[in-house]
């Protein structure tokens, strides 16, 4: 009896999974930590439409500034800020206040 119940219970789960998988991929939020004057992880990959959110755990303010000037955000100490990635390509970025902080985002087109 118990086995039978389980099998019936699994059906709706499977049905839900099928729906989720058939849906187009949702935009995600990718988290990058700013700690010890470094971006962690320093290299990330994302899809167009995804958001990158920086969490500054340092005692000083930082920026995430794209080398191609497509975006520039300031992140105060103990706070977060984010950017929505609008176009595909590889973007190198750095901190304007501490140029020894560097990172890179590979943005892939959404299929």
Partner 1 sequence: MFVRIFIQIGVAIAAICLFASSGFAQTAAKPTDPQIAHIAYTADQIDIQAAQLALKKSKNKDVRAFASDMVRDHTAVNNKALALLKKLKVKPEDNDTSRQLSKQASDKRAELSKLNGSAFDKAYVDNEVAYHKTVNDALQNTLIPSASNQELKDLLTTGLKIFQGHQQHAEQVATEFK
Q: Which residues bind partner 1 (CB under 8 A)?
A: 36-38, 58-61, 77, 95-101
Considering beta carbons, is residue 95 or 107 the nearer one to partner 1? 95
Considering beta carbons, is residue 51 or 81 the nearer one to partner 1? 81
Sheet holding 29-34, edge to edge: 39-40, 29-34, 51-56, 79-84
Considering beta carbons, is residue 77 or 89 the nearer one to partner 1? 77
Distance CA 77, CA 58 (A): 6
Shortest approach of partner 1 to residue 32 CB, angstroms?
Answer: 17
Shortest approach of partner 1 to residue 74 CB, angstroms?
Answer: 11
C-alpha dihedral (42, 47, 53, 57), degrees to nearest 10: -20
The answer to whether 80 touches 56, Cβ cutoff 8 Å, is: yes
Shortest approach of partner 1 to residue 77 CB, angstroms?
Answer: 7
Considering beta carbons, is residue 48 or 61 the nearer one to partner 1? 61
Residue 63 tokens read as 């920026």
């Amino acid at each position: 009896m118990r086995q039978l119940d389980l099998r019936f219970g699994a059906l709706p789960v499977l049905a839900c999974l099928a729906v989720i998988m058939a849906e187009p991929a949702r935009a995600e939020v990718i988290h990058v930590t700013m700690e010890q004057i470094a971006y962690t992880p320093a290299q990330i990959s994302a899809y167009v439409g995804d958001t990158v959110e920086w969490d500054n755990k340092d005692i000083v303010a930082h920026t995430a500034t794209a080398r191609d000037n497509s975006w520039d955000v300031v992140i105060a100490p103990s706070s977060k800020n984010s950017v929505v990635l609008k176009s595909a390509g590889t973007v190198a970025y750095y901190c304007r206040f501490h140029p020894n902080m560097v990172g890179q985002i590979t943005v892939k087109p959404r299929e």
